Amino acid sequence: MASPPVLFLRNIRLTFGATPLLTGADLTVGEGDRITLVGRNGSGKSTLLKIAAGLVEADDGERFVQPGKTVRYLPQEPDLTAFRTTLDYVESGLTPGDDHYRALYLLNELGMTGNEPTASLSGGETRRAALAHVLAPEPDILLLDEPTNHLDLPAIEWLEGELKGMKSALVLISHDRRFLENLSRTTVWLDRGVTRTLDRGFSHFEAWRDQVLEEEERELVKLDRKIEAEEHWMRYGVTARRKRNVRRVDLLADLRKEKREHRGSLGNVKMAAAEAEASSKLVIEAKSISKSFGDRPIVRDFSIRVARGDRIGIVGPNGAGKTTLLRLLTGDLEPDSGSVKLGLSLDMQTLEQKRDSLDPETTLADALTEGKGDWVVIGEEKRHVVGYMKDFLFSPEQARTPLSALSGGERGRVMLARALAKPSNMLVLDEPTNDLDLETLDLLEEMLGDYRGTVIVISHDRDFLDRVVASVVMSEGDGRWLEYAGGYTDMLAQRGRGVEARKTEKSAAAPKKDAASAAVAPPKARSKLSFKDKHALETLPGRIDELADEARRLHAVLDDPGLYGRDPSLFAATTEKLATSEAALAAAEEEWLRLEMLREELEG
């Protein structure tokens, strides 16, 4: 017998203004369930999750949470402004019975110290702190809205492992297909205000969705034929009995109402790139290029030949230098040594990871036409801006909407629309999948498949890389980059491991050093730690936090790309301080680990 649900929503209805958003949505969450909630951008997924979390009240319907069960919700845009540090924020979600050490453990696993001031966090740091905040209490139900946004591959794969090991029931919204495939066991599709449930994971969703839509089309054809038959009877069969006639007239009215009220499936994005004349066969030739900032090598002795039509993915953890490598290959940045040769007739278009080039006060129409009237020129074709907007799922009413009023997914579609309208034979895409819904991702992948030019893409989306690229350039650490044939999965098979953060590499090496230390450790006859060792064991965590915070601040200074040009002496001094700080941090971590192992050995 199935256990009762720990949370359910039944017949949820909600209207914003005159537009119904939810018209009969259901959601049932049982113990340990793994549910993915899918649907188009704007279909109401985030709103439904907020209703489940108790943050938004529906106009109608029922919400139930089993008494005593805890619910934690991760929003797309967490607000940390009421807290001084990230640790303060994470610990605020704990109850007296929770393990407070878990808060610091999760922050450390996510590459943070807990001492970061919340007022100066980046988008990625905010997302990591928010994840630690909802994971630390180990609640009965976790509601996660785009948990992989702003995370690099090591953090995404760590999060997958952490969620798999938790007993909490999960409800996930994400555009990361591989993440959903690895975690989900049930799929809930929110479409035109109502939900449909598939008792299988996300990997089965798309085939099921297509089957549902095909069946709906067949039913619609049957309805059209029935209306046509009734209209024919109205014209030519009104001589029948009066009572029967009235009933047939009413039936026709009902059929017409059903047809009128049928909400068809939402339109598809129509995506095509304006292509310029073909470039030369050799697009990029890099020979033994190297680039360092101070003593830190970003690219070391790297060579590659990029031919016309190649599809190349660049992969690595945050901070590895992916964007620097991309700038070197496209001629935007000079290497310290080696050479980069660009092919002839190269017409390059770039899609930035950040949306900074979009003026928030500009209207949607002006952003697409660059303020030059009502027409968009795509290759040799001239199109009215409203028609072009419809290709990217924007309504005519949004033409004069300022970009600041658009969602993240809508701004992503604007960037795509702008980039694809300009003629090109080479596309350079930096995290193009951010904030896009799954249907738009499908169309982007199809467009790139049909594109005859060259594509270089930076992405943390494993499924997107598998579907789009023919080779992967992978960061091996310490400025070394290697090219692997195939997509991300092929790279894993050849390399034997995935993308690793520098912290992970350090941790992996630690046990070998500790084994050597254990060989010269004091004999077991010693019954307890010395006063000096005990004091060091108690004080080292604070010292480690201070050193990590200092290293983070120094990294932030060096992240300024214009620093070296403005003030070479400050750059050199900061680099030297960073090297000293990181060496001291590594030594403190090793000493703490040695003492902790010794303590466990003595107490055991």
The annotation places the binding site for ATP at 39-46, 316-323
Residues forming the annotated binding site? 39-46, 316-323
d(Cα 564, Cα 294) in Å, to the nearest integer?
9
d(Cα 337, Cα 376) in Å, to the nearest integer?
42
Question: What are residue 5's DSSP bridge partners?
Answer: none
Tokens of 384: 């009215």
Q: DSSP assignment, residue 117?
A: B
Q: Note whether 429 and 451 are within 8 A (CB).
A: no
The distance of Cα 113 from the centroid of its chain, to the nearest Å, equals 23
Element (H, E) at 289: strand 282-293
Q: Note whether 421 and 388 are within 8 A (CB).
A: yes
d(Cα 435, Cα 451) in Å, to the nearest integer?
22
Element (H, E) at 355: none
E strands in 101-150: 141-145
d(Cα 451, Cα 432) in Å, to the nearest integer?
15
**Residue tagged 């003026």 (tokens):** 359
d(Cα 417, Cα 271) in Å, to the nearest integer?
8
Tokens of 542: 């604070």
Which of 357, 428, 457, 432 lies closest to 175, judged by CA?
Answer: 432
Which parts of 422-461 fold into alpha helices (H)? 438-450
d(Cα 503, Cα 401) in Å, to the nearest integer?
44
Element (H, E) at 18: none
d(Cα 476, Cα 236) in Å, to the nearest integer?
79
Element (H, E) at 304: strand 296-307
Tokens of 128: 């990591």
Work out whether the CA dihedral 528, 532, 537, 539 comes out positive or negative. positive
Helix, strand, coil percent content, the chain, rounded in steps of 5 = 45, 20, 35
Angstrom CA distances, 73 to 35, 85, 135, 139, 173, stand at 14, 20, 10, 10, 11
Strand order in the sheet with 296-307: 296-307, 282-293, 337-342
